[in-house]
């Protein structure tokens, strides 16, 4: 199975094939007999052990916000447009998934002492009093983000009423891997917990994260774009985890790209890893699944045929470039980046060790990253010969994922166009 068993021994997290203990903060609650399950798969009964956390909220510098007001307004509009494009992909089939979850009774946060989130904040993180909570974001996949105000400061709470804690565990591993590089800040995962089943909805899960005070549209500022480019390049060049990946491609857990389960089994060469990823996306187009849009009609074989041909061409399309494993965020669109007074931050990763150029392909899908970012990034990691061809190949992968999630006809046309262009090279 691609979804690996995780066990808890004396509070330290280990994975059967090694490596996660190097990532996950000791403060994160782990679960015994925990399986990294794909979404929608029947869950086992999980018993979670509470591990006390000592993480404190980080202070932020009080430096004055720089930049011209007109530029900030223009930047805000640019980010709004990027996020609008993403939301337009959420067609009726996906919205129905959220509506089905909303029907009938379901878990709702409260400040009551027996609420599972309140109990975790108080018993695990040392909070004495929770003053209030506030919904910050609600996304089509069922994830909701809250801000909790307590006598120990602010906390982010991310919850999903139907997911297993193992889903958030894979995200916590990714966040901890990113944090270990000291290149590009991200929120620290502090605790994982379970939500009860209420009515027909659940059980679910939640994750407590370090609170980061994000500046409104801060990532669109010119200085933040430049710094993000510099820091992302530093992440991609970082060798902190060299002893873990040992030149291989993959990750210590199999995780998720939005709702899509990913196979991160270690692979010795990049073309083989990428081909496997592409095979999964193409196959999923024609499979009934418990996430995303319904399968394409079996009579519509266009993408099955084109996809198979592109997969066979992967070694040739990647010829001439030497690929070394880089830790990449994996889902870095503009909505998963922000900025505090201290600088850029990233969140909601789908990490793995892969070709750093694949990160850039995802970043071009919805826009929001400007010349200041690209110039700063490529000053440290210049484009290599064949860059544009490889960008098309990696974009093909990410557009296939969008098609699996949303079933948008325009996305399907883009997939066909990219495949045809790749096959002409």
Give dist(CA 148, CA 128) in Å, integer: 13
* Cβ pair 325, 354 in contact under 8 A: yes
- Residue whose structure tokens are 């919205």: 95
Output 123-126 pairs: Cβ under 8 A, ≥24 positions apart: 123/50, 124/29, 124/50, 124/51, 124/52, 124/53, 124/191, 125/53, 125/55, 125/152, 125/155, 125/190, 125/191, 125/208, 126/52, 126/53, 126/152
Residue 212: both structure tokens together: 């980061």
* Cβ pair 166, 99 in contact under 8 A: no
Q: Is 116 helix (H, G, I), strand (E, B) or coil?
A: helix
Marked catalytic residue, from 75, 115, 164, 331:
331
**Which residues are 206's β-sheet partners?**
159, 193
Cα Dmax for the chain:
64
Give dist(CA 192, CA 168) in Å, integer: 7
* Cβ pair 219, 228 in contact under 8 A: yes
Q: Which of these, 117, 82, 137, 128, lies nearest to 364 by C-alpha position?
A: 82
Q: Give the N- to C-terminal CA distance of the chain in Å, as an integer.
A: 36
Note if 331 is an active site residue. Answer: yes
Helices (H) and strands (E) in the chain, counts: 12, 16
Q: Please, where are the H alpha helices in 181-301?
A: 222-237, 242-245, 270-284
Catalytic residues: 331
């Amino acid at each position: 199975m691609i979804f690996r068993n995780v066990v808890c021994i004396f509070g330290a997290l280990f994975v059967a094939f090694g490596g996660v203990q190097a990532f996950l903060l000791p403060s994160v609650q782990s679960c015994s007999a925990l399986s990294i399950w794909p979404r929608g798969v029947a869950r086992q009964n999980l018993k979670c052990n509470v591990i006390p956390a000592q993480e404190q909220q980080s202070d932020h510098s009080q430096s004055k916000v720089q930049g011209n007001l007109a530029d900030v307004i223009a930047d805000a509009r640019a980010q709004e447009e990027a996020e609008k494009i993403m939301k337009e992909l959420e067609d009726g089939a996906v919205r129905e998934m959220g509506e089905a979850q909303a029907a009938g009774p379901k878990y709702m946060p409260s400040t009551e002492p027996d609420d599972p989130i309140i109990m975790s904040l108080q018993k695990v993180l040392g909070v004495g009093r929770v003053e209030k909570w506030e919904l910050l974001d609600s996304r089509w996949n069922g994830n909701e983000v809250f801000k909790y105000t307590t006598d120990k400061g602010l906390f982010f709470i991310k919850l999903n009423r139907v997911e297993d804690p193992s889903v958030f565990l894979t995200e916590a591993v990714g966040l901890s891997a990113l944090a270990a590089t000291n290149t590009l800040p991200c929120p620290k995962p502090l605790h994982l917990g379970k939500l009860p089943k209420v009515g027909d909805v659940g059980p679910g899960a939640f994750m407590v994260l370090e609170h980061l005070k994000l500046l409104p549209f801060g990532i669109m500022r010119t200085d933040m774009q430049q710094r993000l480019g510099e820091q992302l390049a530093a992440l991609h060049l970082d060798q902190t985890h060299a002893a873990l990946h040992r030149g291989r491609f993959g990750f210590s857990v199999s995780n998720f790209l939005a709702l899509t389960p990913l196979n991160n089994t270690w692979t010795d060469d990049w073309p083989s890893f990428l081909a496997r990823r592409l095979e999964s996306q193409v196959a999923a187009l024609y499979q009934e699944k418990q996430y995303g849009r319904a399968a394409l009609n079996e009579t519509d074989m266009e993408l099955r045929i084109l996809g198979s041909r592109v997969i066979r061409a992967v070694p040739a399309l990647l010829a001439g470039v030497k690929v070394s494993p880089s830790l990449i965020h994996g889902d870095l669109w503009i909505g998963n980046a922000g900025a505090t007074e201290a600088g850029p931050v990233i969140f909601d990763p789908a990490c793995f060790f892969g070709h750093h150029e694949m990160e850039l392909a995802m970043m071009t899908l919805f826009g929001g990253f400007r010349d200041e970012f690209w110039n700063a990034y490529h000053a440290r990691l210049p484009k290599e010969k064949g860059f544009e061809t490889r960008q098309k190949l990696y974009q093909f992968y990410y557009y296939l994922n969008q098609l699996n999630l949303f079933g948008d006809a325009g996305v399907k046309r883009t997939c066909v166009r990219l495949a045809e262009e790749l096959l002409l090279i």
